[in-house]
Homo-oligomer: A and B are copies of this chain.
Amino acid sequence: MRDELDLRSFIRVIADFPRSGVQFRDITPLLRDPEAYSSALKAMTAFVKDLRPDCIGAIEARGFLFAAPIATALSLPLVPIRKEGKLPAARASVDYALEYGTGQLEVHSDSFVTGARVAIVDDLTATGGTAYAAASLIESLGGEVVGLAFLIELAGLGGRERLHGRNVYALMTLP
């Protein structure tokens, strides 16, 4: 099993994607190394398990790659939190600002019962905007966000401050 430092070597930096000035963190090298992927999932799953959640809030699309194995490993319901226009049934939505651009997140209104303990899972948090929006969305439906798990936290973009007071885990913090 590799340690955390080693896992960082599976994250590739792509300059100027999706727009000039953005240093994109590409997780595909990690995904194609089964040992690295499994090691990352193991650490994230341990954090999520300790939250004693009732379900996993899975943020589209890369978040699905971590949320799905975590939910199945812990035998927990998976609730997709999707971009605008993807979910077909009655839903709640929230607007949010991204590091680059803006978006809207949606969740089915029947995703969980009032008071359900929800753990949010995504691949990366930068400004915290997506995660904050997802948490607000879940809380607007009566869910309780008991924690948020990320593979990567980008330091210095305000994410940690924006999610202040919440139980946040990131396997690795990158500059």
Contact = CB atoms under 8 A, between A and B. Distances in A.
Interface of A: 12, 14, 17-18, 24, 26, 28, 31-35, 37-38, 41, 55, 58, 60-62, 64-66, 68-69, 71-72, 75-80, 82, 85-89, 108, 111-112
A69 B24 CA distance: 25
Given A31-B77, A69-B68, A85 B18 contact: yes
B89 A65 contact: no
Contacts of A77: 31-34
Q: Is the interface of A mostly helix, strand, loop or mixed?
A: mixed
Residue from the set A18, A28, A60 with the largest chain B CB neighbour count within 10 Å: A28
13 contacts: A24-B88, A26-B88, A31-B80, A32-B55, A32-B111, A34-B75, A37-B78, A60-B61, A61-B86, A64-B65, A65-B78, A66-B68, A68-B69
